[in-house]
């Protein structure tokens, strides 16, 4: 009996190792989880926190990059969403976790492209905590910092054939008191360049 159990355990362990993906981050942050308040410096060095920046209906933490062409393609859509939902109590917080992008670069890119703060996640600590791997990647938290939606902004990076505006639908569902039908969606994008990659 012991021998059979030991063999079974060995097989399960072996499979766990064989199939364990190499991604270099801690793991996914589940929908419904509450994120602890975090504080990070913005591009001017001023430390800002989630709790200070969030609106009465929550906040979107969106991982960005100053050099990713996919992010570039989304900038206008991100700004439009940020402007529209700012008035509805949902604020946007940009996060740059890329170890390969200099502060000057991120600062000028943020000033040129966004009307919301971009915080510097040195050492990709927040990216690791949330399991963020790609840019752009959005995390929509309610006013109590509970994760409501995680993933892509919409289903077409080119913006030419969008058939599902995931993030906007998530906002509208929440604001009208309905459950979010799709709480998770993936999309192609640039990998976050972590320290040591």
Partner 1 sequence: MNLKTFIGGAALLLSLTGVSSAQIGMGRRADAPSKGPTIKQIDANGLRKALTPSRKPLLVNFWATWCDPCREEFPDLVKLDAEYKGKIDFITISLDELSEIDRDVPKFLTDMKAPMPAYLLKAQDDEAAIAFVSKEWSGALPLTILYDPSGKQIYYRQGKVKIDTVRAEIDKLLIPGN
Distance from C-alpha of 134 to C-alpha of 185, rounded to nearest angstrom: 12
Q: Is there binding between residue 117 and partner 1 (CB under 8 A)?
A: no
Q: Is there binding between residue 24 and partner 1 (CB under 8 A)?
A: yes
Q: Is there binding between residue 137 and partner 1 (CB under 8 A)?
A: yes
Q: Is there binding between residue 196 and partner 1 (CB under 8 A)?
A: no
Distance from C-alpha of 187 to C-alpha of 197, rounded to nearest angstrom: 21
Task: Please report, as residue ranges, which positions from 31 to 90 form the binding site for partner 1 (by CB under 8 A).
Answer: 67-70
Task: Please report, as residue ranges, which positions from 87 to 106 form the binding site for partner 1 (by CB under 8 A).
Answer: 100
Report the SS3 class of residue 35. coil
Distance from C-alpha of 32 to C-alpha of 17, rounded to nearest angstrom: 28
Nearest distance, CB of residue 2 and partner 1, angstroms: 29
133 close to 25: Cβ distance less than 8 angstroms? yes
Nearest distance, CB of residue 100 and partner 1, angstroms: 8
Applying CB under 8 A, the span of 5-13, 16-24, 47-55, 102-110 interacting with partner 1 comes to 16-24
Residues linked to residue 135 through DSSP beta bridges, in sequence order: 190
List 62, 90, 118, 192, residue binding partner 1 (CB under 8 A): 192
List 1, 16, 18, 181, residue binding partner 1 (CB under 8 A): 18
**Three-state secondary structure of 108-161:** HHHHHHCCCCEEECHHHHHHHHHCCCEECEEEEECCCCEEEEEECCCCCCCCCC
Nearest distance, CB of residue 187 and partner 1, angstroms: 5
**Would you say 57 or 105 has its CB closer to partner 1?**
105
């Amino acid at each position: 009996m012991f021998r059979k159990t030991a063999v079974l355990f060995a097989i399960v362990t072996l499979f766990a190792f064989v199939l364990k993906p190499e991604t270099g981050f801690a793991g996914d942050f589940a929908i419904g989880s509450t994120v602890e308040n975090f504080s990070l410096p913005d591009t001017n060095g001023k430390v800002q926190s989630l709790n200070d920046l969030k609106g009465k209906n929550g906040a979107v933490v969106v991982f960005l990059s100053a050099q990713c062409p996919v992010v570039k393609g989304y900038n206008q859509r991100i700004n439009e969403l940020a402007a529209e939902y700012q008035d509805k109590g949902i604020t946007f917080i940009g996060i740059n976790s890329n170890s390969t992008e200099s502060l000057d670069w991120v600062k000028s890119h943020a000033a040129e492209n966004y009307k919301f703060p971009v915080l510097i996640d040195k050492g990709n600590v927040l990216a690791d905590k949330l399991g963020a791997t790609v840019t752009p990647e959005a995390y929509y938290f309610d006013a109590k910092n509970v994760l409501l939606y995680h993933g892509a902004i919409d289903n077409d990076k080119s913006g030419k054939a969008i058939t599902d505006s995931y993030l906007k639908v998530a906002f509208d569902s929440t604001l009208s008191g309905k459950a979010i039908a799709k709480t998770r969606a993936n999309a192609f994008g640039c990998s976050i360049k972590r320290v040591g990659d």
